[in-house]
Amino acid sequence: MSAELVSQTAQGAVLSVTSNVLAQVISSYKQRTPFSLNLAPVIKFAVFSIISNPPNILWQIFLEDIFPTNVQAPAPKSEKHNGKPTPARQIKTQMSATNVFIKFVLDQTFGAVVNTLMFLIYMGYMNASPAGKQGPWDSIAKEIQEKFYPMIMDGYKVWPLFSLVSFLWIPVDKRVVVGCLVGVGWGIYLSLLVES
């Protein structure tokens, strides 16, 4: 695992922990109870972040490699030297709207479904009854059945705009970390959803 991948994963885990702690503070405030930090969900969210961030980082790299936002711009005839292309140091790039659109659609369909399922499978497994009243597969099935559709629909209120902005202006090596920063609010939502 590269140092950059480890660094981005660690940053994402810290932001995930932050969102869970903030969710606990909000929950305590709403219930008008004294705040008492519950470490179990904090650890669950940190571990999930450590598991899910590397595939998401690789997903963003894959999308950018296959469908780069910026592609080589065709050289105007005035910039050609004796019929030869412009030297490499002078090559200009332009934004490819087609590539951005393809990345956006893939990220908001395939990417959204995989991420939502990863979260629900993980939380269903982690929240399965240790006494065996509800096995892990039953717990996972229940999580998916009850929360998949609401999470996807709520995610579409947040992630499409971020996805578009990230594909247009955020370098690929920063997308997951910036996504985690934006995701602090999303993580609060997830933390409160898991509590329910």
pLDDT in tens, 83-98: 565 555 567 899 999 9
pTM of the model: 0.83
What own/partner pairs with CB < 8 Å and gap ≥ 24 does 22-26 have? 22/184, 22/188, 23/187, 23/188, 23/190, 23/191, 23/192, 23/195, 24/191, 26/188, 26/192
- What pLDDT was estimated at residue 177? 81
Q: What is the mean pLDDT of the chain?
A: 88
- What pLDDT was estimated at residue 87? 56
- Bridge-partner residues for 94, per DSSP? 71
Tokens describing residue 194: 């898991």
Q: How many CB atoms lie within 10 A of CB 135?
A: 12
Instruction: Select from 68, 60, 59, 52 the least CA-distant residue to 13.
Output: 52
What are the extents of the domains in the chain?
3-195
pLDDT in tens, 20-71: 899 899 889 889 999 999 999 999 999 999 999 999 999 999 999 999 999 9
